[in-house]
Structure formats: C-alpha cells, structure tokens
Structure 1
C-alpha cells in the first residue's frame, strides 16, 4: 500500500481538537485558565462554521466543555494531558489505490523532546483512540515527530526542520536519510525540504525547537507562504531573510522552483517574556475558509486576511484572537488537525 498525506486544502471530513485541562500549560490562576479555555473554544466555534468539529475532552473537563462548546461540536471523552492536537494526534493519510480507505499515522510523541514540564503520556494515545473512532487504519511509526513539524503539498513535497526531526531529544540516532525514508513510507513524499531552524521564541523552554508550521506553508503546489519579520530589531528579521534566501534556491518534488509569498508579522515584537513569535502562517485551512490568527492589530490582521484569501482563492478568512494561544506555546494550526474526506 502507498500512503499519501493530502494537502490541507483538500476536502475535509472534519477537524479534530483537544479541550484544555488544568495544568502548567493552561495557567496558574483562574483568570489565566479561563482565558485558555475561551481561546480554544473560540477556535472550535470558528471552525464549526465551516465544517464538523470533534473535540477530545478529559473526563474532568466534560461539564465545562459542554457548556463552552454547545451542541454543535461533538465531544469524545478520553484522558488528556497535553492539548495540542496537531502534535500528539494522528496525521491522516489516504491510499490512492484503495478509495475510501483512511489511514492515521501514529508518530511517537514525547512532549516535544521530553522537557521536564511536559506531561504527554495520556495524549500520546490520542492517535490510536481517534483512529479507532473514525475507522482509520493505524500507521505506526518509530519516528518521534509532531504534526506541526511538517507541511506537505500533497504531491510529494514535505517541509521539515533540522532542529525538530533531528533533535537528539527526539531522535538521537536519526539522520536525514532515515527521516526522509520514513516520510516516504508514511506520507508518500519524495522530496524533503529542510529548514535549518525555526523562529527565535520557539527555542524557549515552552517551545517546540523549530516547528515549520509557524514559519512556512505550501498553499498550493509550487508556492510557499513565508513568515516575514520586517522589524530589524527582532532577531527573526535576519532568520526570515536567511530562510527566504535558502528557499529561493529550492525546488519541489515536481522540480518546480517556488514562488515565495511573504506574510508579514504584526507590528508588536515584544511581550512580557521577550520577543514574540506571532505568525499569521500558523492558520488552518478549512472547507471554504481559513481560520486566521489575530493579534489585536486591526490593520495587520486585515492585511493577513487579504493575503490568505489571495493564496487560497474562493475561501473566506476569519480572524480569531490567538494571543492567548501563542502565550501558551503555539497557534491555531497547532491546536487543530484536519481529517481529509475519503470516498465512501
């Protein structure tokens, strides 16, 4: 069998999320925790306006989830510790030789390199649980990886980052050839484009060590959407420039040189913890729409929506305030996972 991960722009059956539960990531104080719950719920409701949403909810949070999510969003009760579904949940794939067959890649998840603060053992089971719920064939993998660490074009190209898949805390024995071979087996890719690193903030204690889904994505084959930090005071200004130069020389699996479209960051460059990694690249494409990150800057948010609607023709961009999500280590793409539609 040959598995292939479809592009995010392919038709979805639904989007999967995990509902937050109390713990270090959510916040120490009641107001902080409420902010986190509200942010996740806002994303779920935004997605549900375009396609079905199922949220995995810890037994301790069912009452709150039912109250905040309402009846339009389906709830699946299972134990949760981390609640970043893109990373600990399944990566869905299809088999073009077997129409109607859905696969679910079960990467090894160790909490982004087993940092002392992360609790991942419960959510590491979500790929198996979700696969069973939707009747997908489980595609087991020995690679420590997260869904936010990859982006595909659905036609053989995958973006990855050297500091993620080759992270010694994740895969101490891996090299590029081994990782690329596993991508080929599980995702159906034939060309891996390696970014040397990610954004500055992503290397803090609560970061992922360079996830690509905050840096670049492939809105259509042959096109790259790249985070642009225009302020030279921000260390990501130079990082983004270097990545652009590197990617300008790359070709995709079909041999096409990329058209690179810059997606400027908002104007704010600092918060109480240092340089922000606020990025509009971390959006979710849904059926007929785009769920875009918002950062409380009307002009910058509107500019991002305009660019996103241009690169995804026929889709309407909707902004959700993502500052509470980024404060906890990621964005909208990080907390969602699309399930592609397959012929029945």
Structure 2
C-alpha cells in the first residue's frame, strides 16, 4: 500500500458545498460561482462528489448552470457540515493490495482527526463526513480510523514513491498532537501513510494562512522528481526572507536516490488585502485532475499567465485551467484547500 501522487488516475473529486450556516454567508453567491466553475471544469474529465446539507438546492444550481448532461457526472451526499475545506476533512487514500476478511481490496481510506486547524474553528460535523460517506456506500475500500491523530490533507504532499513532504510549522503547532515530539509524529506518519521517509520543510508560512503553514500553499510535488514552489522577488515584501530561506532549503534536498530535485519556481502574487488584512494568495494551491490542472488566478494577468506556464511545464500533457480564486482567499484558502481527489476505483460508479 502507498499514498499515490495527486497526478495518478482519479475516480473523482470531493467538494463540500458552501451554505448559509458557514463563514461564507456574507459572500455566499460569490463563492457558489467559484464552486460552479470548479464543478464545470472537473465534470468534463471525471466525477464530482458533492457533500452538502441541502443537496436538492445544489442540484438546482448545477442544473441551471451546467445542464443535465454534465450533472450525470455528479454524485450527491446529504449531511450537515461546518465548512467547506474538503482537503482537510476528507479521507486520504492509500492504493495497492490489502486483505480484508479474505477479500482482496485495492484502496484503504485513512480517516484522521480534523480539529479546525488546532481548535481555531468548529469541526465536529466535518470530522464525521468521511464516516458518513463510507457507511452510506459512497466510497469503495476499507476504512481505517486514525481519529486519535490530527492530520489535514493540506499538510502533506506525496511523490507517489514513498516520500512524504510536510512542514514543521504546521505539524508541530499547538493544539494538534501534543505532547508528541517531532520524532513521534514522523514515526506515526510513516506508519499510517506507509511512507519510506518524511521530508520536513521549515520555512514559507504565508501571511493570512489559518492552517499554521500547510505545505500545499508553498511546495507541491510533480513527476520526475520535481518540486514546484513559491518564490518571492520583492525584497520589500514582509515574506521575502522566509521564502528565501525556503528556497535555500529546497536546494539542499535530495531524492531517496541521493539526487537533487528539479525545482520550478512560481511567482508570489502581488499582495491582496481585505479590510486591511493580507490574504494568503498563492499559485501553489492548484488541483491536479485527470487531463488538467486547475490553477488559482488573482486578476494579475502577467503573474497569472506565468504561473500557468510553469505549472504546464511541471505537468505536461495536461490542460491548465485558470479559476479566479480572489473570493476563496477571503476565507484564507484556495482551490486545493476546497477539494480532495480520490484515486481510481474509490468513488461509486452510479450517481
């Protein structure tokens, strides 16, 4: 069993839909437009599993915007939710052979504890979603509970070859897994994720990020031992020194075979503020799907285009689709944070 890379073949993507009882309430129509655009792009290529407390309402929205043909590629599951960050409350899937009561199964669904990024926000309903999906027959595989360990999907990146990347600022943050030490956490990650090694990054925490430094906001894995990362060119930017330290650390990393990684550098978006607060805009928070990459854009044409060109280099033979993420960052995340991909064979086949 292993944790596949995101670019491996997928059966679909989970979206946990925004509603009036989430923090999106003041800008609900705006964020729903983003969700519709993500659903449009994903359903062209694979299934979308939508989790919502009001699935009939969501179906009506998608019918108006996408039509019946596209709606056939959407699965719905009705349950109550706290928020919309599927990356951090959805199951992490291991693929490969496993034995369960004499039957051979291909996927293991890891259900970790989600506690609102260190008890910052209510998460009890979101923490139960994976169990609801599994017991209602929406996910194929065996469920493996790790509810005694806090881990968000955005906190790790897998190269699909046994190396898992993470950040010390997140996994060692308060109200996660204390009193566990760094060594304790590393051993738990290796055991649960069936990893050969854990690579820790120590720099690159975006201002405005509620997650304490999720790796999917700064560094992403790509095929052929490539790392895609965010760089900062403006020496006057308050994040400049931290991201320079990140870049220098990446230059020291080696693959399991002892070779340096190929590094592709994304630009840092120009600072975006909301009511005086800097928001965590990043191009690294993209979603890889079958045949495409959904890239967050920020109405900064030059940097948006450059980021999409670099992502195209990292994932050849995939279309790079830009989706305006300015609304998403108002709640301190971006496209990858809102989504969770499932490998081939995990999502049920029938809507």
Q: TM-score under structure 2 normalisation?
A: 0.89
1:42-191 to 2 correspondence within 5 Å? 42-58=37-53, 61-70=54-63, 71=68, 72=71, 73-96=74-97, 100-115=105-120, 118-132=121-135, 133-141=138-146, 142-191=148-197
CA apart distance, 1:269: 4.7
> How far, CA to CA, are the matches of 1:321 and 1:154 in structure 2?
29
Residues 199 and 271 of structure 1, relative CA distance in 2, 3 Å threshold: farther
Question: Which residue number corresponds to residue 9 of structure 1?
Answer: 7
SS in structure 2 of the partner of residue 213 of structure 1: helix
CA apart distance, 1:277: 2.0
**Is the 8 Å Cα contact of residues 293 and 318 (structure 2) preserved in structure 1?**
yes
Q: Deviations over 1:140-195 (max 9, x none)?
A: 21220100011110101111111222222111112222222222222221221112
CA RMSD of aligned residues (A): 2.0
> How far, CA to CA, are the matches of 1:269 and 1:236 in structure 2?
13
CA apart distance, 1:63: 3.5
> How far, CA to CA, are the matches of 2:123 and 2:98 in structure 1?
35
Residues 181 and 221 of structure 1, relative CA distance in 2, 3 Å threshold: farther
CA apart distance, 1:67: 2.1
Number of residue pairs aligned between Structure 1 and Structure 2: 332
The correspondence for 1:34, drawn from 17, 29, 32, is 29
Q: Deviations over 1:269-305 (max 9, x none)?
A: 5443333321111000010100110111222212111
Residues 269 and 237 of structure 1, relative CA distance in 2, 3 Å threshold: farther
Question: Which residue number corresponds to residue 245 of structure 2?
Answer: 242
Question: Which residue number corresponds to residue 234 of structure 2?
Answer: 231
Residues 220 and 104 of structure 1, relative CA distance in 2, 3 Å threshold: same
> How far, CA to CA, are the matches of 1:223 and 1:323 in structure 2?
28
Q: TM-score under structure 1 normalisation?
A: 0.91
> How far, CA to CA, are the matches of 1:287 and 1:188 in structure 2?
24
> How far, CA to CA, are the matches of 1:202 and 1:92 in structure 2?
29
The correspondence for 2:335, drawn from 332, 336, 344, is 332
Residues 225 and 125 of structure 1, relative CA distance in 2, 3 Å threshold: same
Residues 25 and 221 of structure 1, relative CA distance in 2, 3 Å threshold: farther
Higher deviation after alignment, 65-74 or 164-173: 65-74
SS in structure 2 of the partner of residue 134 of structure 1: coil
Structure 1 unaligned spans of 5+: none
CA apart distance, 1:129: 2.3
**Is the 8 Å Cα contact of residues 149 and 160 (structure 1) preserved in structure 2?**
yes
